[in-house]
Copies of this chain bind each other. A is one copy, B any other.
Amino acid sequence: MATLDDIAKMAGVSPTTVSRVINNYGSLSEKTKTKVFAAMKELNYQPNSLARSLKGKKTQLIGIILPGVSNPFFGQMVQEIEDQLFKKGFRIILCNAGNDANKERAYLRMLMANRVDGIIAGAHNLNIEEYQKVGLPIISFDRYLSETIPIVSSDNYHGGQLAAQSLLAAGSKNLQIITGANRPNSPTNNRLVGFKEVLDQQSLDFKLLEIPFSSSPNIKGLKIRELLLKKTIDGIFCTDDLTALLVMQQARELGIRIPEDLKLIGYDGTDFIQNYHPELTTIKQPIVDIVTMMIDLLLRRIDDSECELESTYTLPVKLITGVTTI
């Protein structure tokens, strides 16, 4: 692969001059530029960004650490992140951490080794201390990581409230919430808190079913089936849409009609759900705004590592009404 020196020789100028042409820097004669451009084209030259970055420049690389991109929610989020960062001249290194703390740890070290300019983190496996000592600009999605790492999330609390209100308004009396197993320091727990609060105010009770995030859909389906078989509830809030899909599936199989016998509301409201399951009432997270916010904050930190940021940024959710809560 051709180097800057090759171009210099071919064009009969010094390496510095070539560098100047590439970076459009300093004063250059038209003649020189033309010669250099010709040589660059001739050799299909691409400046080596490794060398460039080694010389103290930024790498224009951002690390994205998330549970995994096969989940439509994170799929859409990554796509949005990629889209926005591309326009600003950044590339992304994708790190699916799954439920694997060791993998997340390895990725963190690797991102440091690759000298990424910053990190967007939304996985939930590592202890806070491990993020403290990374020493790189980090923005967190929906997870408390440390005093100095800003969290961006949707208004989980209000989302929980909206869910409870919707079910009640639809006439449900015996409510159930199905949520992932409680995670320490996760703002997503507030979905439950908000939900509970609305019911508490009306002195109403509700059932809680926790299913670990890492459970397979089959396992989840079984637990839901068990629950539905009891036929004691008439309104369910699932803290993610995929679980709501499983509820619909099991209900269908058991002959439980939605919304006649059972009201249902989900959480996330991805494009996917809106396009392919518009029947589902759900709380929509503002993915675009979340991403815009995260990137804005991250770039500010990259520009100025000292810059003061809030510790929490909460963006409003929106109720999308389908036919499952009519």
Contact = CB atoms under 8 A, between A and B. Distances in A.
Contacts of A275: 216-218
Contacts of A72: 70, 72, 75, 272
A50 B82 contact: no
A245 interface: yes
Contacts of A25: none
Contacts of A276: 217, 242, 245-246, 249
Given A46-B109, A49-B115, A50-B59, A92 B91 contact: no
Interface of A: 1, 44, 46-51, 53-54, 59, 61, 64, 68-72, 75-76, 78-79, 82-83, 86, 91-96, 103, 106, 109-110, 112-115, 133, 135, 216-218, 242, 245-246, 249, 271-272, 275-276, 278
17 contacts: A1-B112, A46-B109, A48-B115, A49-B113, A50-B54, A69-B79, A70-B79, A71-B75, A72-B75, A78-B94, A82-B95, A82-B96, A86-B103, A86-B106, A91-B110, A218-B275, A249-B278
